[in-house]
Amino acid sequence: MPDPEVLDNRALGRATLARQLLLRRHAMTATEAMEHLVGLQGQLANPPYLGLWSRLSTFAITDLTELLTSRKAVRGGLMRGTLHVVTARDFLRLRPVLQPVHDRAQRGFFRRDTEGMDLGELAAFCASVLDERYSTNVELRKALAAKWPERNATSLLHSVQYLLPTVYVP
């Protein structure tokens, strides 16, 4: 068996760009591209649109908007605690696998603000609020402040985003 080829820095960089669909535009659908990339960073609303436009030969804003409004794609907390736009199918597959990372991050970032709290109760309370209707962060923070007035409601809100697989409604 021959020795495997060792890539120099330039070849490694080109391979990375090719994997990320950044060397040329591709004839793929937005869904195919998102699944190939395992999502697009979506902390802000516009970057996923720009990311797809720069990678796909035929992409229109309505392509991603339709996926989001039909819930075939979602924007939610996934990797590195930041928001990503992924297909709904990928979100359902990846979030449970990544949940232990989110749990550790919640404890690391918000331990002081949630010390002594039953995090299961916090998650269940927010799940019940979100089951009733869609809520904005402002509305959910108000509900948290009313339930736990002695706690930092913003920290509780961020904790919930780590504890529950929440997505943003377009």
What does the angle CA 19 – CA 100 – CA 41 come to, to the nearest 5 degrees? 35
Close Cβ partners of 157 (under 8 Å, ≥ 6 residues apart): 137, 140, 141, 144
If asked whether residues 16 and 83 sit together in one domain, one would say yes
The pLDDT-based confidence of 82 (bands split at 50, 70, 90) is confident
Return the closest-CA partner of residue 45 out of 75, 20, 70, 67: 75
Asked if residue 169 belongs to a domain, the reply is no
Asked if residue 149 belongs to a domain, the reply is yes
Q: Domain total for the chain?
A: 2
Domain end call among 89, 104, 138: 89
Model pLDDT, residue 126:
93
If asked whether residues 120 and 84 sit together in one domain, one would say no
Q: What confidence tens digit (pLDDT) does each residue in 46-60 have?
A: 999 999 999 999 999
Q: With 80 as the cut, is the pLDDT of residue 165 above it?
A: yes
Q: How far apart are CA 69 and CA 170, in angstroms?
A: 6
C-beta neighbour count of 166 within 10 angstroms: 19
Is 168 in a helix, a strand, or coil? Answer: strand
Its pTM stands at 0.85
Domain end call among 40, 74, 89: 89
Range of the domain at 154: 116-164
If asked whether residues 64 and 124 sit together in one domain, one would say no
Q: Name the most confidently modeled range: 67-71, 105-109, 128-132, 137-141.
A: 67-71
If asked whether residues 79 and 121 sit together in one domain, one would say no
HEC letters along 12-48: HHHHHHHHCCCCCCECCCHHHHHHHHCCEECCCCCHH
Is residue 95 within 8 Å of 165, Cβ to Cβ? yes
Task: Give me the phi and psi of 78, to 5 degrees please.
Answer: -140, -80
Model pLDDT, residue 62:
97
Asked if residue 5 belongs to a domain, the reply is no
If asked whether residues 65 and 132 sit together in one domain, one would say no
If asked whether residues 133 and 79 sit together in one domain, one would say no
Asked if residue 108 belongs to a domain, the reply is no
If asked whether residues 34 and 70 sit together in one domain, one would say yes
Return the closest-CA partner of residue 59 out of 26, 81, 88: 26
Q: With 90 as the cut, is the pLDDT of residue 10 above it?
A: yes
What does the angle CA 22 – CA 26 – CA 27 come to, to the nearest 5 degrees? 165
If asked whether residues 80 and 122 sit together in one domain, one would say no
If asked whether residues 83 and 123 sit together in one domain, one would say no
Domain end call among 89, 106, 132: 89
